[in-house]
A and B are shown apart, each in its own frame.
Chain A
Amino acid sequence: MGFIRLAVFGFLFLSVVYLLVSIYSRSLRREKLEKRWDNDIKEGDRDAYIETGMKAYEGSLRKKLIVLVFIIPILVFLGTIYMVNFQ
Chain B
Amino acid sequence: MWRYFKWGFRIFALLFVFLFFHYVLPQHDVVRVTNTYNRLTTVGANSIFYSAPDVGTAESATTRDIRFIEAVRPNDKVIVYRNEDTGWVWPPYFKYDSSNLQAEASNLKSTKEAPQWAVMTHYGWRLPFLSIYPNAISIREVDSPDVRLIPWVNIIILTTIALMLLTLRRMWAQFRERSIDPVLDDIDEASDAARDRAQGFWARFMGWLGSWRGKPRR
Contacts and interface: CB of A to CB of B under 8 A. Distances in A.
B137 A84 contact: yes
Nearest to B172: A24
Given A5-B88, A6-B88, A6-B89, A81 B171 contact: no
B93 interface: yes
Given A3-B88, A27-B178, A84 B54 contact: no
A84 B121 CA distance: 10
Contacts of A20: 171
Given A27-B175, A80-B94, A85-B96, A2 B137 contact: no
B95 A85 contact: yes
Contacts of B174: 24, 27-28, 31
Interface string A6-32: 100000000000001101100110110
Contacts of B96: 85
B94 A84 contact: yes
A5 B138 contact: no
Nearest to B54: A2
A60 interface: no
A87 B100 CA distance: 11
A48 interface: no
B54 A85 contact: no
Interface string B80-109: 000000011100111111001000000000
Contact of B54 (A1, A21, A24, A27): A1
B11 interface: no
B78 interface: no
B55 interface: yes
Interface of B: 52, 54-55, 87-89, 92-97, 100, 137-138, 170-171, 174-175, 178
> Nearest 10 A-B pairs (CB), nearest first?
A2-B88, A6-B88, A85-B97, A24-B171, A81-B94, A84-B95, A3-B88, A2-B87, A27-B178, A84-B93
Interface of A: 1-3, 5-6, 20-21, 23-24, 27-28, 30-31, 77, 80-81, 83-87
7 contacts: A2-B87, A5-B88, A23-B175, A27-B174, A84-B137, A85-B95, A87-B138
